[in-house]
Structure 1
Amino acid sequence: MRYVFKILRNFSFILILLLLMAIGLGYTLTGQGGRLDVGWLLTRLSPHFWAALGIGLSVGLAGLGVSVGMFVTGVSILGVSVKKPNAGSRSLISILLCEAFAVYGLITAVVLGDMLKDFSAEKARTDRRLFEAHMFSSYVMFAAGLTTGLTNMVCAVCLGMLGSSVALATATDESALNRTLIVEVFSSSLGLYGLLLSFYMHSLTSTQTSFPTPVWEEAGS
């Protein structure tokens, strides 16, 4: 079975590489090689795409990290509860701390989602400054969501691994939870930094432009 997975992994890598080569060759032969430029990708895609992607990543990445973290620490807690139910119930604090990271991602998604409102596309075509302001807002929303999602994902996995070790240590010595709880608390506070940074990015869109909602149509068309 291990060799089968290895073959599938190598085949998937080759398939993706061939697909990218086919796309690049197709654009080159049809005279659209400029679309392979990163700058073209950033300016031609709708800002609604970047904003929605940032909102989705803030929840999706945080939820992914929390799922992995709760799985890692939950398995250890269940194993400990078989022999020492009291120690297992006391270790549930790790599950609660891990769940907070998903809440941070949800808060960011709600705050960013509140910025999405309709706006006249005609004004975006004629006013270049307004168009650039919307582009700036969409990039900031994407960066805010990505920052919160990645920060909370890594912190949730870290806390899950730490909670697993704490559960095993508590099974040996129940007083170990009191000594290691401070480590878990400080580890869980790291995800809050990503949330605060996303709020700071949100304030940038409010101060740089009076239209923080990213609405875009191709300029000059």
Structure 2
Amino acid sequence: MPCDPAASFFGFAGAASALIFSNLGAAYGTAKAGVGVASMGVMRPELVMRCIIPVVMAGVLGIYGLIVAVILVGQIAETNYPFFVGFAHLASGLANGLSGLAAGICIGIVGDAGVRATAQQPKLFVVMILILIFAEALALYGLIVALILAGKSSVTTC
């Protein structure tokens, strides 16, 4: 007896959620931190390359979403895909995507304020980097949970 084909909807929704929400976080973080870099570059152009780190860190969030989306899509099957696995894949995508969105918002705000503050006081650069690392860790936690949830697809009976 084949599984309900509607179950695959949840798997595809999980893959889409991982990519969409992670990219939203990456885009917001890149834009917000980029505005800070542009503003700081007017005052201290020699620090621009050093202060582009928040933009790079925001871009990594999109890669996390891409990794999870590719893994999930590779596990979705036309047959023998029960609702349990579909729900696990949806949870996986949401865990990764929403964690990436939260981290992107945090990286954007900290990056904007941090590079502007670094332009005025260069000693704040290390502090900004430490805060950004903790913000990036939020997305990494989501990635780890997403990979664990994606591994729940060992059940192949309906």
Q: Same-fold call, TM > 0.5?
A: yes
Q: Report if the CA contact (8 A) 1:81-1:89 is conserved.
A: no
For residues 102 and 30 of structure 2, what CA distance do their matches in structure 1 show?
13
Per-residue Cα deviation, 1:143-174 (whole angstroms, up to 9, x for no partner)? 11011110100111111100011111111012
For residues 78 and 15 of structure 2, what CA distance do their matches in structure 1 show?
17
For residues 95 and 139 of structure 2, what CA distance do their matches in structure 1 show?
10
Q: How far 1:52 moved relative to its partner?
A: 0.9
User: Superposition RMSD on alpha carbons, in Å?
Assistant: 1.8
Matched, 1:78 2:38: yes
Q: How far 1:45 moved relative to its partner?
A: 7.9
Q: Report if the CA contact (8 A) 2:22-2:101 is conserved.
A: yes
For residues 51 and 93 of structure 1, what CA distance do their matches in structure 2 show?
34
Name 1:176's counterpart in structure 2. 124
Name 1:160's counterpart in structure 2. 108
For residues 131 and 105 of structure 2, what CA distance do their matches in structure 1 show?
15
Q: Report if the CA contact (8 A) 2:8-2:78 is conserved.
A: no
For residues 17 and 64 of structure 2, what CA distance do their matches in structure 1 show?
12
Provide structure 2 residue ranges, at least 5 long, that are not aligned to the other structure.
none
For residues 99 and 127 of structure 2, what CA distance do their matches in structure 1 show?
26
Q: TM-score, normalised by structure 2?
A: 0.91
Corresponding pairs, count: 155
Name 2:76's counterpart in structure 1. 116
Q: Report if the CA contact (8 A) 2:15-2:90 is conserved.
A: yes
Provide structure 1 residue ranges, at least 5 long, that are not aligned to the other structure.
1-43, 120-129, 215-221
Higher radius of gyration, 1 or 2? 1
Name 2:14's counterpart in structure 1. 54
The range that moved more, 82-91 or 138-147, is 82-91
Per-residue Cα deviation, 1:14-68 (whole angstroms, up to 9, x for no partner)? xxxxxxxxxxxxxxxxxxxxxxxxxxxxxx8811211111111100011111111
Q: Report if the CA contact (8 A) 2:82-2:156 is conserved.
A: no
Q: TM-score, normalised by structure 1?
A: 0.66
Per-residue Cα deviation, 1:45-101 (whole angstroms, up to 9, x for no partner)? 811211111111100011111111111110111111122112222110111111111
Q: 1:139-150, aligned counterparts within 5 Å?
A: 139-150=87-98
Q: Report if the CA contact (8 A) 2:111-2:128 is conserved.
A: no
- Which of these residues, 114, 138, 151, is aligned with residue 86 of structure 2? 138
For residues 158 and 146 of structure 1, what CA distance do their matches in structure 2 show?
18
1:170 corresponds to which letter in structure 2? T
Q: 1:1-221, aligned counterparts within 5 Å?
A: 46-119=6-79, 134-206=82-154, 209-210=155-156
For residues 180 and 135 of structure 1, what CA distance do their matches in structure 2 show?
44
> Which structure is higher in RCO with an 8 Å CA cutoff and minimum separation 6?
2
- Among all aligned residue pairs of Structure 1 and Structure 2, give the percentage whose two residues are the same amino acid: 24
Name 1:38's counterpart in structure 2. none
The runs of 4+ residues in structure 1 deviating greater than 6 Å are none
For residues 145 and 101 of structure 1, what CA distance do their matches in structure 2 show?
13
